[in-house]
Amino acid sequence: ADAYSNMGNTLKELQDVPGAMQCYQRAIQINPAFADAHSNLASILKDGGNLAEAINSYKTALKLKPNFPDAFCNLAHCMQIVCDWSDYKERMKRLVAIVQEQLDSNRLPSVHPHHSMLYPLSHNQRKRVAGKHASLCLEKVSLLHYPPFRFPKRLPTQRIRIGYVSSDFC
């Protein structure tokens, strides 16, 4: 089951979503109590817009492993997307505590920077979440061994060009 889940993670990184989904499903078939595989499958379902199944898979993962920060934070995000406000205050209280504990222990927070605006986090917590995720991006980019980007000099008569970066870009 571990091997299938790991292969699913690799395929997901390579943008092979159907292959990753098959691996996670196979891992669950081999070991139905494998919380990580349920959470990974839920993540693919969530990204694909299948929120009802994603919520069920996150809930299964949390039943199997109640102290599972990634599954809890992703479930909280799904619940907000579908406007399920049941237990909202308690869910947000737990989410904020999870994020603070992760920041205090210098771990990557389970909340993405662009999702942090949805939660009652402090400005400082949001900045720290963004900083931790930015550091992860820098680590990944450094593996490519590209030289740093050099901006061309701009003449005073030239316009400034502005780009846009979004987590929605593939």
CA distance 26 to 118: 34
Q: Could you give the residue numbers annotated as active site?
A: 114
- C-alpha distance from residue 33 to each of 1, 16, 38, 57, 62 (Å): 10, 25, 9, 12, 11
Question: Which tokens belong to 107?
Answer: 């771990």
Supply the DSSP symbol for 111: S
CA distance 149 to 152: 9
Judge residue 34's burial from the number of C-beta atoms within 10 Å of its C-beta, 0-12 exposed, 13-18 middle, 19 or more buried. buried
